[in-house]
């Protein structure tokens, strides 16, 4: 029986256990320069000290125009890489592997940062504004930005990168038939719609080397699980080492329901991907996994290879000790609007309770 404490090797990177931290953006930690601040370093150091096997640092923009907001972390220029070394050092000193998620917002661009652009000229979040359809030259240039950011990540000591391929951002926009209406090499068939991300994976592998861990946080439904798995197959063929499964743009698969399991329907996407890729590529599942027994159930029943933790380790960085050693912990209050979210003052009630010792 697999245990949560069992190590796992992903490419050449060994994780000391099966607990990973999901990328969760700290919107008011960075300045307009997109550089790492001491707040970032302390945030990740504390989670590394809590006993995770791997940390995925938050979504990080590959261009200034691809940010969520002007206080969004970036790796679009060399001067930003130096600060990331403090994060990777803090993780490695605690025997924690660390990767960073690379992203561009695409058609969901913040107008204060840059223009909305994507695979096709479709409506944006503002119905009166249509996104600019990227030319093939612009697609190639955008891929260059992802590869350059990956090289900077490697120079800063990251064990690898994760491409943000879900949640409706640029890579996800290319795989969705709702946002990708192209009829060239980047549209139409599933293979073509996956090409944008697959090309980036191939180029990161060429530039960063065989030992560099390449992960994709991919959509589990687009529009159904079978198509989403077919997209992931293209990523794996291109050289993806690790799939972390979340949600995307489309949701039309009636077979995905809450069935009274020990996990919800979002988490079940990772379980289904794990069943498909078992023995070939490690898979991680995520979403509302905030109970130690739930984590153990997923791993010990071999429903997933690793478990991504978000709010559980935001509320209490020592949550891994509760899973591994049955120690007490402060539970996430499951606030309707997480206090770590955009525009929030980072006053998580659970974290404040933990810090006060009450």
One of 29, 158, 169, 263 is an active-site residue; which one? 169
Buried b (16+ CB within 10 A) or exposed e, 220-243: bbbbbbebbbbbbbbbbebbbbbb
Beta strand 13-15 pairing with 8-10: antiparallel
Q: Which phi and psi (to 5°) does residue 2 adopt? A: -70, 140
**DSSP assignments along 125-169, one per residue:** SSTT-BPEEPPHHHHHHHHHHHHHHHHHHHHTT-SEEEEEE-TTS
**Helical residues (DSSP H) of the chain, grouped into ranges:** 38-49, 81-92, 136-155, 170-175, 190-193, 195-208, 225-238, 265-277, 292-300, 311-315, 319-325, 349-356
- Catalytic site includes residue 186: no
What's the CA gap between 278 and 281, in Å, rounded?
Answer: 7
User: 180-188 long-range CB contacts below 8 Å, 24 or more apart?
Assistant: 180/118, 180/119, 180/120, 181/119, 181/120, 181/122, 182/119, 182/120, 182/133, 184/136, 185/136, 186/119, 186/136, 186/139, 187/119, 187/120
- In 3D, which of 212, 228, 129, 237 has the Cα closest to residue 172? 228
Residue for token pair 């539970």: 331
Which residues are annotated as catalytic?
169
């Amino acid at each position: 029986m697999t245990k949560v404490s069992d190590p796992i090797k992903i490419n050449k990177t060994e994780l000391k256990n099966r607990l990973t931290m999901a990328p969760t953006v700290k919107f008011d930690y960075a300045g307009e320069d997109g550089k790492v601040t001491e707040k970032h370093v302390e945030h990740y150091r504390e989670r590394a000290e809590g006993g995770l096997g791997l940390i995925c640092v938050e979504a990080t923009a590959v261009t200034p125009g691809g940010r969520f907001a002007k206080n969004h972390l970036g790796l679009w220029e060399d001067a930003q890489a130096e600060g990331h070394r403090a994060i990777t050092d803090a993780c490695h000193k605690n025997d924690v592997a660390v990767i960073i998620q690379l992203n561009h917002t695409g058609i969901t661009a913040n107008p204060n940062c840059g223009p909305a652009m994507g695979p096709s000229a479709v409506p944006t979040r503002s119905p009166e504004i249509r996104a600019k359809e990227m030319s093939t030259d612009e697609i190639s240039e955008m891929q260059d930005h992802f590869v350059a950011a990956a090289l900077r990540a490697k120079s800063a000591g990251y064990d690898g990168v994760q491409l943000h391929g879900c949640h409706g951002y640029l890579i996800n926009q290319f795989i969705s038939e709702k946002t990708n209406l192209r009829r060239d090499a980047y549209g139409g068939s599933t293979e073509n719609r996956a090409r944008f991300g697959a090309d980036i994976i191939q180029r990161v592998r060429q530039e960063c080397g065989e030992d560099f861990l390449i992960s994709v946080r991919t959509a589990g439904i687009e529009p159904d699980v079978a198509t989403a798995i077919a997209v992931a197959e293209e990523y794996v063929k291109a050289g993806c080492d690790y799939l972390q499964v979340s949600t995307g743009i489309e949701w039309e698969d009636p077979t995905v329901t809450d069935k009274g399991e020990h996990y919800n329907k979002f988490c079940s996407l990772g379980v289904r991907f794990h069943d498909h890729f078992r023995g070939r590529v490690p898979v991680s599942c995520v979403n509302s996994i905030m109970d130690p027994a739930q984590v153990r159930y997923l791993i010990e029943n071999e429903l997933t290879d690793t478990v991504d933790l978000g709010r559980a380790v935001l509320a209490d960085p020592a949550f891994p000790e509760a899973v591994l050693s049955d120690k007490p912990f402060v539970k996430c209050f499951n606030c309707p609007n997480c206090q770590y979210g955009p525009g929030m003052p980072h006053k998580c009630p659970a974290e404040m309770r933990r810090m006060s010792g009450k």
